[in-house]
Amino acid sequence: MKKLMILGAGPNQVPLIQAAKKKGYYTYVCDYSSSAPGVAFADELCLVSIMDKDGVLQAAREKQVDGVISNSEPAMPIVAYVGNSLALPSNSEETIGCMTDKVKFRRILSRNSFRVPAFGSAKTLEEAKVLACQIGFPLMMKPGASSGSRGVKKIVSLDNFDDYFHKALEISRTKEVILEEFIENQCAYVTGGDIFVSKGEVVFWGLMSCIRDQENAPLVPMGEIYPPVLTSEQIMSIKKELTRAITVLGFKSGAINVEIMLDAQGNVFFVELNPRNGGNMIPEELQLVTGFDVFTATVTAAVGDELPHINENMQNVAKTAVTYMVHTMMPGVLKRVSFSDEISKSIVGYYPDLFPGDPVEPFFSADKKIGVLILKFGTVEERNMVLEGIKNHIFVEME
């Protein structure tokens, strides 16, 4: 029996643990909390923080694991460190370091002739202000390394600049902030989703379109549409640049959660290429409409087993699905979430993060969601009709 170590035992890691158990692997989970929900699904707990790279390495060595994996963005460099140290199936530390650090990511893209916005990094407020004036407004401010769109802000002037910078710096794991030229996305949606790479080649294209709340939280992903709202030419261009980026980065195996924009000339700009599967039910939505299980592929590759056969015709565009993060911009205490009769017939499942009596925060980052809906439609027309007025079909009641 092969032994797999999974970093993290939170709700996001539960599907990975379940996929590993289904494959017949013995599962260890690393977490600082013995009460984390994934502990109940795993065979054994290693009581160590996923950010303690030497502690995780020691545990992996003692347990003589055949692979190590996670889908927590902060843990991915630790996965590479342990995998490289023990000669396990893994991407290089350099590759993962470039993909999880926005500054390094922009630099490697720039050196290899990819389209990148004008950018720079700052560790102090003074450096940031000088850089902002050089780039010009509007611009994007982001923590050098973070997740869930936390600390990301569109800046239009120096008003409140100090506060935004300090918040981004506090969130950043690298204690560095990146400023970059604002690029106007010319498609109806930002392109997102998950792809899967094996032996350095993309074997599954789970491209999707990201739903955003343009009025209240335009920078926070609010859901995903499959298939993506793109022309065949746009898809071809995105696939070409993604293939080239994977080669340049040296990424060999695993899931990549993508975020991509196209400018008015159709040029591809990579916002992020995260070396992990996406959260908020993206893998579940993709499996629903394509049959491809990102979680199973992830754990299988992590122990060096051959992936199951992947049907090139998996992506059946006759099927369309949507994930949608139930949320509110008003703080309070949750009383009830309900749905209209019209939308209920399309609901595959509702997966709550919060329950009646739980405090609710405004949806300014993805971790503030109330829950996730998965919807499936018979036609694109039916999907579009529901999406146009989806807020009128979801009722969030507060105490």
DSSP state of 122: E
Do residue 82 and residue 125 come from a single domain?
no
The reported pLDDT for the residue numbered 122 is 95
Q: What is the pLDDT of residue 329?
A: 92
Which CATH number do you get for residue 127? 3.30.1490.20
- The answer for residues whose C-beta is within 8 angstroms of residue 87's C-beta and 6 or more apart is none
- Percent of the chain clearing pLDDT 70 (strictly above): 97
pLDDT in tens, 34-70: 999 999 999 999 999 999 999 999 999 999 999 999 9
Last residue of a domain, one of 156, 181, 206: 181
- Cβ 397 vs Cβ 336: under 8 Å: yes
Which CATH number does the domain housing residue 79 bear?
3.40.50.20
249 in the same domain as 142 = no
Is there a single domain that holds both residue 340 and residue 196? Answer: yes
- Of residues 47 and 308, more confidence is placed in 47
Report in angstroms the alpha-carbon separations of 303 from 1, 2, 3, 55, 123. Answer: 11, 7, 8, 20, 39
Which residue did the predictor score with more confidence, 141 or 312? 141
pLDDT tens for 337-350 read 999 999 999 999 99
Note whether residue 158 is domain-resident.
yes
Q: Which long-range contacts (CB under 8 A, 24 or more apart) does 237-242 make?
A: 237/262, 237/266, 237/268, 238/191, 238/207, 238/262, 238/268, 239/202, 239/205, 241/114, 241/268, 241/270, 242/195, 242/202, 242/273
**How high is the pLDDT of residue 351?**
95
Instruction: Based on the fold, state whether residues 136 and 23 are members of the same structural domain.
Output: no
Residues 47 and 69 in one domain: yes
Residue 105 lies in a domain: no
Query: What dihedral do alpha carbons 254, 258, 263, 268 form, nearest 10°?
Result: 0
Asked whether residue 161 falls in the same domain as residue 211, the answer is no
Q: Residue 384, by phi and psi: left (phi above 0), alpha (psi -120 to 50) or beta?
A: alpha
Is 183's pLDDT higher than 90? no
* Better pLDDT: 97 or 220: 97
Note the pLDDT of residue 314: 57
Nearest partner of 219 among 248, 166, 194, 182, judged by Cα: 182
Confidence band of 187 (pLDDT split at 50, 70, 90) = confident
Quick one: pLDDT at residue 322? 96
Mean pLDDT over residues 22-32, rounded?
Answer: 98
Listing DSSP states for 300-364 in one string gives: HHHTTPPPPP--TT---TT-EEEEEEE--SS-EEEEEEEE-HHHHTTEEEEEESS-TT-EE--SS
Question: Which of 90, 106, 133 is the C-terminal boundary of a domain?
Answer: 90
Is position 370 within any domain?
Answer: yes
Q: Are residues 201 and 331 in the same domain?
A: yes
> 3-state SS of 224-269?
EEECCCCCHHHHHHHHHHHHHHHHHHCCCCEEEEEEEEECCCCCEE
Contact (Cβ atoms closer than 8 angstroms) between residue 384 and residue 353: no
Domain at 301, CATH number: 3.30.470.20
pLDDT at position 145:
83
Q: Rounded to whole angstroms, how far apart are CA atoms 48 and 53?
A: 9
- Say yes or no: 247 and 376 in one domain: yes
Show the domain range for 133: 118-181
Mean pLDDT score of the chain, rounded to an integer?
93
- Do 83 and 175 sit in the same domain of this protein? no
pLDDT at 392 over 80: yes
Q: Does residue 143 sit in the same domain as residue 231?
A: no
Q: Which of 134, 158, 181 is the last residue of a domain?
A: 181
Q: Is residue 342 a part of any domain in this protein?
A: yes
Q: How many CB atoms lie within 10 A of CB 159?
A: 9
Distance CA 338, CA 324 (A): 14
Average pLDDT estimate for 162-186: 92
* Averaged pLDDT for residues 242-254: 98
Cβ-count burial of 29 within 10 angstroms (0-12 exposed, 13-18 middle, 19+ buried)? buried
For residue 274, being part of any structural domain is answered with yes
* DSSP, residue by residue, 190-210: EEEEEEEEETTEEEEEEEEEE
Q: Same domain for 329 and 360?
A: yes
Residue 108 belongs to a domain: no
Check pLDDT > 90 for residue 205: yes
Model confidence at 224: pLDDT above 80 = yes
Q: Looking at residue 127, what DSSP letter applies? A: H
Residue 387: φ, ψ to 5°: -65, -35
pLDDT at 251: 98
pLDDT at residue 366, rounded to an integer: 83
| Cβ within 8 Å of residue 109, ≥6 positions away | 116, 245, 248, 270
The answer to whether position 307 is within a domain reads: yes
Report the C-alpha gap between 45 and 42 in whole angstroms: 7
Which among 131, 59, 277 is positioned nearest to 142, based on CA atoms? 131
- Identify the band that residue 212 occupies on the pLDDT scale cut at 50, 70 and 90: confident
When pLDDT is cut at 50, 70 and 90, the band that residue 248 belongs to is very high
The two tokens of residue 220 are 């926070």
Q: Inform me whether the pLDDT recorded for 217 exceeds 90.
A: no
**Average pLDDT of the residues in 1-26:** 97
Say if residue 175 is in the same domain as residue 243. Answer: no
Q: Decide if 97 is inside a domain.
A: no
Please determine, for residue 143, whether its predicted confidence score (pLDDT) is greater than 70: yes
Average pLDDT over residues 20-31: 98
* Phi, psi at 14, each rounded to 5°: -55, -45
Q: Please count the structural domains in the chain.
A: 3
User: Which neighbouring-strand residues pair with 396?
Assistant: 337
Q: What is the per-residue pLDDT for 311? A: 63
- Give the mean model confidence (pLDDT) for residues 265-277: 94
Residue 195 has pLDDT above 60, yes or no: yes
Residue 146: pLDDT band (50, 70, 90) is: confident
334-380 residue pLDDT tens: 999 999 999 999 999 999 999 999 999 999 888 899 999 999 998 88
